Amino acid sequence: MKKILPQLLGCLVLVLIATFTATKGELLNYDDERYIASNPWLNGTSNPDESILTTFFDGHYHPLTLISLKLDLGFGKDPIAAHHTVNWLLHGLNATVLLWFVFTLTGNRKLALGVALLWGLHPVAVESYAWMTERKNVLYALFFLLASTQYILYLKERKMARLGYVALFFALSCLSKAQGILLVPVLFLLDYYVSGLLWDRSRWKEKLGFVLAAIAVAYIGQLAQNEAWNVSEQTYGVVNRLFTGSYAFAVYIIHTVIPVGLSPYYPYPADYNAELSILHYLSPLVFVAYALALFKAYRRGAKLWFFGLCWFIVNVVLLLKILEVPFGAYIMADRYAYVPMMGLLIPLVSELYTLVQKYVKAKNPEYIATGAIALVFVVLLRSGISDWKSSESLWSKVVDEYPAYPHAYNMLALGYIGEGNAEDAIQTFEQLDQLSPDKSDAPINLAVLYEQMGNSLDADEQLEIALQREPENEQVLEKATIIKLRRNKLEDALRYSAKAIELYPESVELYILRSQVLARNGQVEEAIDLLEEQPQTNAVQKLIGQLQQLQRSTPSQGASRERNAAKMFMDQGVQAAKSGNYDLALENFDKAIQADPTMYEAYANRGSFYARVGETAEAEANFLQAVKINPGAFTVHAMLGLLYAETGDVQKSCYHYRVAANGGVQVDPRMLAKCEENGL
């Protein structure tokens, strides 16, 4: 390594400088909210009876990735910036280790520097380090490269300690992402490159442990995917997946050589009302041509080409979605080419250097060629990093690339909501509705948005449209329940939540929502019984405890008359407030509390009134009384979070926001992120 220390340092510095803007990214509504903001191992809501080393998360078994994300929280007060910064550093380190790997493999300093620099600056690599959720990709790649390098050194030195390092880095790679199992065929490729024998039987025994470990990791990975995803739900059948997979394979090759026309998301044609094109049906010919190139390289002894072509196909073939995984409504993804394209770049850069040495009459023409390409790559990668900066920029790019793809408009509108831009969100939902006039995505999300804006009439109109279009849609039933629960329309909330769990009995979240509706309706014991039948996640256990506390404070049947009177006064107060008669509203809320001092809803509504007129102390007292009576009033906790945020009491604000989020209330992820920044 000492022989190439200047090159290693130079590559690291250049890559980190060129990609530095990736550290300025935000929390995206593309998996980040689930993978980062709502990750129980990061937000402190994990089940204390579960271990991070034995738990599946989001369809993966990758405990080392989760541990690394958790360690990020110790770097500064901004966890989002920390996650982005560590991804950026890992990518820079990967480029440096790639340089070491290529030099160890070939002994060629210039080739190693060129491959590492162009890969580190490659626009296709942007997705893996600019997107927080892809920590697993940059982390597994690091250990994958280290294991590969150590194996080359083992083959050259024959020291068993090197093989021990290979085993260690192989294990760490697999614990970061199951894709690490592909090191096994790579070890055979390295045997070929060093010894010239593709199947060197003298090396088989030492690989037996790696093979068995890879089988075990693959099996565990399959269990994780089956637990999280319904992998049987595929856009296309197996025959058409052969065409789409072949198409993705061809595009990965093209993008490695000419990285233009990239997109953060590549939907299936059927998802934007398109048919498979002639290019899809012709793309299997690329496989044929590729196989012929491999055969030709092997027969001619072109070891570098054979190795590079094999590296690429070995590392990408399982990601072509010909099989039932990876799961997702996309035909391909740039992140899937992160490690595979390393293999293609090695012979490509070698051929480039041969050409420039022949035709460019200058000192070190290889560096001139590398520098020229690197400058182009930097321009392109800066644009790519900008696309991944925010939800708005990401989905705007997808809309530009696929203007007929409805899901992109839905996600873009939700991104606008996250930015507090309701006007653009409404316009984008309306565009979505024009693209998908039979679907419920636009109207149900508009209903939620209008409800949050206090526009009940428009919310009701959009909710009715959604229910007419897709009356059995899970999202529609869930959000209809939330809207009705928010308005205290318990009969409707009970009806929608009952239908939701009947249709989707595997959704724990729906059972949690149903139990909240039951508790609000005074059926606390039934709510507890329902939750006790569910998997005892941390959220379920917390809610059971809160409902048990509520149960102890539930009024007796003798108080039912007073309760009914209180409810009447409270409903009259709500109507008065909606009509703008705030004095009458306050009078009715007071009467409701006098009739039934245990009605937490009356305190919550009176608190909202005081907050509206700027009487913060009175608002706080009423909200606190509401959650004292009913600790499970998670919406009131959210109100307290907002109240304390406005008064500058960050600690109390974060506490109540977390309680609300854990109870299923939709809390702005940016507020939770600020809490993480302050260590709260």
Cβ count within 10 A of residue 560: 12
Q: Return the SS3 of 331.
A: coil
Q: Are 638 and 632 in contact (CB under 8 A)?
A: no
Question: CB-based contacts of 605: which residues, under 8 Å, 6+ apart?
Answer: 570, 573, 574, 577, 585, 589
Tens digit of pLDDT for each residue in 616-646? 888 898 898 888 888 778 888 888 888 888 8
Provide the 8-state DSSP code for 320: S
Q: Is 617 exposed, middle or buried (0-12, 13-18, 19+ CB in 10 A)?
A: exposed
Domain 568-677 has CATH 1.25.40.10: yes
Measure the CA–CA gap between 229 and 57, rounded to whole angstroms. 11
| Backbone torsion region of residue 57, taken as left when φ is above 0, otherwise alpha when ψ lies between -120 and 50, otherwise beta | beta
Residue 558: predicted pLDDT:
46
| Backbone torsion region of residue 273, taken as left when φ is above 0, otherwise alpha when ψ lies between -120 and 50, otherwise beta | left
DSSP 41-61: HHHT-S-TTS-TTT--BTTB-
Amino acid at the residue 145: L
Residue 531: predicted pLDDT:
86
Cα distances from 208 to residues 10, 168, 469, in angstroms, run 39, 15, 56
CATH of domain 393-552: 1.25.40.10
The torsion defined by the Cα of 179, 142, 340 and 5, in degrees rounded to 10, comes to -160
Cβ count within 10 A of residue 257: 10
Q: Return the SS3 of 619.
A: helix
Q: Return the SS3 of 582.
A: helix
Question: CB-based contacts of 214: which residues, under 8 Å, 6+ apart?
Answer: 174, 181, 183, 184
Token pair belonging to 307: 């190795």
Cis peptide before 326 (omega within 30 of 0): yes
Rounded to 5°, the CA angle 247-252-255 comes to 120
DSSP 534-566: S---HHHHHHHHHHHHHHHTPPPGGGHHHHHHH
Question: CB-based contacts of 316: which residues, under 8 Å, 6+ apart?
Answer: 249, 252, 336, 337, 340
Query: Among candidates 600, 634, 639, 595, which has minimal Cα distance to 522?
Result: 600
Q: Is 549 exposed, middle or buried (0-12, 13-18, 19+ CB in 10 A)?
A: middle
Question: CB-based contacts of 156: which residues, under 8 Å, 6+ apart?
Answer: 194
Buried b (16+ CB within 10 A) or exposed e, 197-209: eeeeeeeeeebee
Cα distances from 136 to residues 69, 214, 217, in angstroms, run 10, 17, 15
For the packed helices 669-677 and 650-662, what is the interaxial angle rounded to 10 degrees?
Answer: 130
Task: Please say whether the dihedral angle defined by the alpha carbons of residues 629, 633, 637 and 638, taken in this order, is positive or negative.
Answer: negative
CA 423 to chain centre: 26
Low-confidence ranges of the chain (pLDDT < 70): 228-236, 324-327, 550-564, 579-580, 663-664, 668-670, 676-680
Question: CB-based contacts of 164: which residues, under 8 Å, 6+ apart?
Answer: none
Amino acid at the residue 455: N
What count of residues does the chain have?
A: 680
Given the structure tokens 């702005």, which residue do they identify? Answer: 668
Q: Which residues pair with 266 in a beta bridge?
A: 332
Measure the CA–CA gap between 242 and 286, rounded to whole angstroms. 12
Farthest-apart Cα atoms in the chain, separation:
100
DSSP 358-393: HH--SSSHHHHHHHHHHHHHHHHHHHHHHHTSSHHH
Measure the CA–CA gap between 136 and 65, rounded to whole angstroms. 5
Cβ count within 10 A of residue 657: 25
Measure the CA–CA gap between 130 and 85, rounded to whole angstroms. 9
Measure the CA–CA gap between 482 and 514, rounded to whole angstroms. 10
Token pair belonging to 484: 């009705």
Q: Which residues pair with 57 in a beta bridge?
A: 60
Measure the CA–CA gap between 279 and 254, rounded to whole angstroms. 13
Token pair belonging to 399: 């809309």
Q: How many CA atoms lie within 13 A of 207 on its CB side?
A: 20
Token pair belonging to 100: 């070491």
DSSP 184-202: HHHHHHHHHHHHS-TT-GG
Q: Which residues pair with 106 in a beta bridge?
A: none
Provide the 8-state DSSP code for 333: -
Task: Please say whether the dihedral angle defined by the alpha carbons of residues 192, 198, 203 and 205, taken in this order, is positive or negative.
Answer: positive
* Residue ranges of the chain that CATH labels 1.25.40.10: 393-552, 568-677
Share of the chain above pLDDT 70, in %: 94
End-to-end CA distance of the chain: 44
